[in-house]
């Protein structure tokens, strides 16, 4: 049984020694490959290429950050311009409302002037009718006076001698008074007509001024509408450019995010590979130590067995 155990142990020892020798040879080969990879220009070129790619990606990331900063500044500037455009639109809207108010006031004044003109025309027609009625009354009174004078003259001619006390003084005074009343009425009519003409001229001037103000208000309103349309178009253009820049910046950010994720995945894979290599080396070291311990144990057992066999012979 001891011989069988020794034979089994020898077989296992041979297998372990062959395994250790193979692992040592493989370790030497790997060490040589690592040394050659470290010292060879291909490894340096690969490492330099990796570092160059990493440097290029860092530069691209810096450029993206700078472009992001510039885009944010442009966005802030566009926001300020949009705010200015909004404030200007509000001012234009306020000016437009003010112009509408002025236009409504001008229209009201124009209506009042038209009403005043119509009233003045009606008043002038009324005064004309009154003057014509006064003229007719005056003509009738004059005709009546002429008839009375004619009748008085005929009655005076019928007498051969006129009495001394009778003189046509009252008739002349009456005619003078009538002529003075007529002159006063004519002067009053002329004064009223001149006053009405002055009022009519003033109304025409006010009407013309109101029409001019209305025309100016309409021109100003058209100009404000044109400016408002231009500002709206500029606002739409700025909003479109801002949206386009946001989309471009978002696309670039997504690209850089994908590149960073790919680099992180590659770094993770490299870390996994390095960890795997270190683990393999650790396992090899543990296996080597265990084999060394087994070899030492077998050696002590063999020495003890040899000493045990040599003692009886001695």
Averaged over successive runs of 10 residues, the pLDDT of the chain (314 residues) comes to 81 84 87 76 63 82 84 85 84 84 83 82 80 78 74 57 46 69 75 77 78 79 83 84 84 82 83 84 83 82 78 56
What is the Cβ-side half-sphere exposure of residue 166, based on CA atoms within 13 angstroms?
Answer: 8
Residue 281's pLDDT is what? 81
Domain that holds residue 248: 1-37+45-157+176-308
Long-range contact pairs involving 170-176 (C-beta distance under 8 Å, separation at least 24):
171/145, 174/145, 175/145
- pLDDT of amino acid 42: 55
Q: Within a domain: residue 170?
A: no
Neighbour tally for 217: CB within 10 Å: 20
Classify residue 313: in a domain, yes or no.
Answer: no
Q: Is residue 314 part of a domain?
A: no
pLDDT of residue 160: 44
Instruction: Determine, yes or no, domain membership for 168.
Output: no
Residue 163 lies in a domain: no
The whole-number pLDDT of residue 314 equals 46
Q: What is the pLDDT of residue 171?
A: 58
Within a domain: 301: yes
Please tell me the predicted confidence (pLDDT) of residue 167.
47
- Report the domain count for the chain: 1
The answer to whether residues 16 and 288 touch, using CB atoms and an 8 Å cutoff, is: no
Report yes or no on 235 lying in a domain: yes
pTM attached to this predicted model: 0.33
Decide if 240 is inside a domain: yes
């Amino acid at each position: 049984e001891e011989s069988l155990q020794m034979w089994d142990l020898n077989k296992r020892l041979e297998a372990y020694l062959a395994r250790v020798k193979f692992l040592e040879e493989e370790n030497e080969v790997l060490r040589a490959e690592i040394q050659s990879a470290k010292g060879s220009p291909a490894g340096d070129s690969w490492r330099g290429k990796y570092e160059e790619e990493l440097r290029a990606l860092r530069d691209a990331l810096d450029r993206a950050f700078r472009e992001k900063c510039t885009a944010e500044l442009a966005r802030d500037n566009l926001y300020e311009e949009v705010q200015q455009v909004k404030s200007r639109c509000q001012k234009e809207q306020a000016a437009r409302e003010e112009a509408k108010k002025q236009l409504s006031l001008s229209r009201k004044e124009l209506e009042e002037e038209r009403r005043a003109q119509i009233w003045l025309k009606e008043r002038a027609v009324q005064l004309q009718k009154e003057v014509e009625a006064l003229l007719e009354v005056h003509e009738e009174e004059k005709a009546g006076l002429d008839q009375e004078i004619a009748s008085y003259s005929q009655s005076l001619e019928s007498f051969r001698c006129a009495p001394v006390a009778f003189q046509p003084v009252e008739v002349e005074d009456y005619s003078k008074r009538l002529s003075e009343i007529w002159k006063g009425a004519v002067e009053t009519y002329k004064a009223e007509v001149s006053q009405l003409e002055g009022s009519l001229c003033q109304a025409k001037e006010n009407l013309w001024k109101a029409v001019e103000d209305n025309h100016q208000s309409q021109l100003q309103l058209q100009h404000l509408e044109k400016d408002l349309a231009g500002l709206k178009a500029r606002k739409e253009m700025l909003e479109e450019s801002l949206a386009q820049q946001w989309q471009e910046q978002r696309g670039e950010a997504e690209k850089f995010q994908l590149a960073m994720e790919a680099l992180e995945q590659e770094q993770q894979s490299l870390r996994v590979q390095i960890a795997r290599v270190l683990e393999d080396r650790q396992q090899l070291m543990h296996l080597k130590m265990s084999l060394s311990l087994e070899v030492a144990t077998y050696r002590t057992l063999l020495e003890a067995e040899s000493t045990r066999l040599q003692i009886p012979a001695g």
